[in-house]
Structure 1
């Protein structure tokens, strides 16, 4: 019985060994599965060369084109006027901005004018006797002399004899002394040189003003200028009078400006040139930041693509028979996000969007609206 059991076990082992060996041979000869090729869907565009305008973006803040910093040239107490001297106060041209107490100085001016009058009156008898031909001229001058008005100009001297006589009496010297005092008296009052608004007030009514002290700032809020710096390569292209598109930083408002001035020198440190853009709008305020788009020039027979589509060796990917290839391109101008290229033939199919991991020889499938529609139905 024992021998029969051992025999059966031996037969089973032989059969199992045979089946295992057969399986190993079958697995060895079995072909490996072929990995399916992955074909990426890409966005493409067909090249059509055209005229590409070069637009230079630049940013800057607005400053009033007409701007006056107010400084005191005399000393005295600030007297109240018809309007409070406060920031935001508007004035018309010719209105008094600041009036400094000049009562003491005014008295000295009147004294000098009186001395001049007396000097001329003292020579009138001599003129009547020795210079009868010019007596009436000087008599008319005295008759028109008013101490409460600006000193009139001395009569014109027509002969050397008259000149020597009048000058020798010190009348000409006295006259110019009076005019000098009157000029200084006018500085006790500051008037608005144009209609505008006070943007800064550093003194208040009743305070003592000192010579050379800054009093405030006055601007014309109707015209502003924006200073921007651009590359020196466009120095000979930008022209005065060209229209410029302006927007605020939020891109919610747009304005139109004009190139008013172009600096004649280039900044040695930054190699840029300064351009001034004039803009008028009631919604603008001094200090606002705006972005300008300056039309510099136009490139003939060129295309504009995203900067990330241009490779480091100045090549771009093209699609030929569903396979990626590379061709050389000549970059002309770079902006923040775009690049202008030349030497790309018309009809060339290029990538419209960058493909991660792209390489020459890569199989691709152009994206179409029909494919997208079928995929959405599925």
Structure 2
């Protein structure tokens, strides 16, 4: 009985093994699922050649076109005035900026003028008897001689005899000595050569001013210039008088400037040329940092694309029958973010945005086609 039971169990095990082996073999022969090929959607643009202005970017700080650094050429006490000598103070043309006490020096000037007057008065008797023809004009000179005013110019001396006589008495040298002192006296008072504003004050009323000391800075706030350094390759493109668009760093304000000057030499260290842009606006302040777009020239039959679309070897991707292809292009100008291209036929479909992993022959579908299908649904 036991042998019969074992035989039945063995037969069942063999049958079970057969069916299990068959099942395993059948599972291996099942076909693998086919993976659906993914076709990327791309953004495209159609080439329409036009005239592209070449804008050269530049940056710089504003400086007042008319500025005056105030230095003292004399020594003395800074006399106080009704208007305080402080930064931000506005002065009109001809108004006194700095007044230095010159009472001691003024006395020496008056002494020299008195000596000149006495020297001329001393020769008047000799002129009356020896040179009666020229006596009257020298008499008129003395009558018009005012000690409180600037020394008048000496009378003309057409004859050599008169010239020798006046020069021999030391009057010519005395006269020019007085004029020299009077000229020096004017340096004790500094007046505004134009209407403007004080931007820096390095002295205070009542302090001792020394010769050669810097006193401050005075500017005309109505007109500014911006100095920019550009590549020497643009030297022939820049033209004086062309308008320039200026922006602040936040790009919230736009100003219009004019190229006022272009330096005629190239900086040997940086190989750049310097251009000066003049701009006038009541909202501008000295020291403001601005960005400029200089209109250098215009490229005809060109397009402008993002620099990220350019490939190595001056190539770009185009679209032909839903397949990517590459063509050679002619870049003529690079900016920080874009590039200007020539020699691309009108109607050519190019990528508008970069496609990661793109290659020639890659199947794609334009975004416009996908949108059209969705609209039809």
The TM-score range, normalised by the shorter chain, is over 0.9
Separation in 1, partners of 2:145, 2:373: 98
**Does residue 1:319 correspond to 2:319, yes or no?**
yes
Deviations 1:309-365 (A, max 9, x none): 001221111111111111111111111100111122211111000011111111111
Alpha-carbon distance in structure 2 between the residues aligned to 1:45 and 1:196: 54
Question: 1:108, 1:101 → 2: CA distance?
Answer: 14
The equivalent residue for 1:36 is: 36
C-alpha offsets along residues 222-259 of structure 1, whole Å, 9 cap, x if unaligned? 10111111111111111111111111100111111111
Alpha-carbon offset, residue 369 of structure 1: 7.8
Q: Normalising by the residue count of structure 1, what TM-score does the alignment of the two structures yield? A: 0.96
SS of the equivalent of 2:78 reads strand
Secondary structure at the aligned position of 1:125 is classed as helix
In structure 2, the CA distance between the partners of 1:251 and 1:7, relative to structure 1 (3 Å rule), is same
Deviations along 1:296-319, one digit per CA (max 9) or x if unpaired, are 111111111000100122111111
Structure 1 residues 67 and 373: CA distance shift in structure 2, 3 A: farther
**295-304 or 173-182, which moves further after superposition?**
295-304
* 4+ runs deviating over 3 angstroms: 372-375
Structure 2 CA distance for aligned equivalents of residues 15 and 44 of structure 1: 66
C-alpha distance in 2, partners of 1:25/1:321? 45
Structure 2: unaligned runs, 5 residues or longer? none
What residue in structure 2 maps to residue 95 of structure 1? 95
* Aligned-residue offset at 1:172: 0.5
Cα distance in 2 for residues equivalent to 1:130 and 1:267:
69
Q: How big is the shift at 1:82?
A: 2.7
1:151 is matched with which residue?
Answer: 151
Equivalent residue, structure 1, for 2:292: 292
Once the two structures are superposed, residues 7-31 of structure 1 have per-residue CA deviations (whole angstroms, 9 ceiling, x without a partner) of 3323322322332332343334333
Unaligned runs of 5+ in 1: none
Q: How many angstroms does 1:124 deviate by? A: 1.1
What residue is the counterpart of 1:129 in the other structure?
Answer: 129
In structure 2, distance between residues paired with 1:278 and 1:191: 26
Pairing 1:263-274 to 2, within 5 Å after superposition: 263-274=263-274
- Structure 2 equivalent of residue 58 of structure 1: 58
State the number of aligned residues.
Answer: 377
- Name the counterpart of 1:360: 360
Q: How does 1:346-357 map to 2 (within 5 A)?
A: 346-357=346-357
Paired residue secondary structure (1:295): strand
In structure 2, the CA distance between the partners of 1:325 and 1:168, relative to structure 1 (3 Å rule), is: same
Q: Deviations over 1:37-81 (max 9, x none)?
A: 111100000111111111111111111111000000000000012
Note the C-alpha offset of 1:373: 8.8
Alignment of 1:1-378 (within 5 A): 1-368=1-368, 371=371, 374=374
SS of corresponding position for 1:113? helix
RMSD of aligned Cα (Å): 1.7
Determine the C-alpha separation between the residues in 2 that align with 1:311 and 1:271.
29
TM-score normalised by L of structure 2: 0.96
How far did 1:130 drift? 1.5
Contact 1:81–1:96 (8 Å) recurs in 2: no
Paired residue secondary structure (1:135): helix
Once the two structures are TM-superposed, the CA of residue 164 in structure 1 deviates from its matched residue by 0.7
SS of match in other structure, 2:257: strand
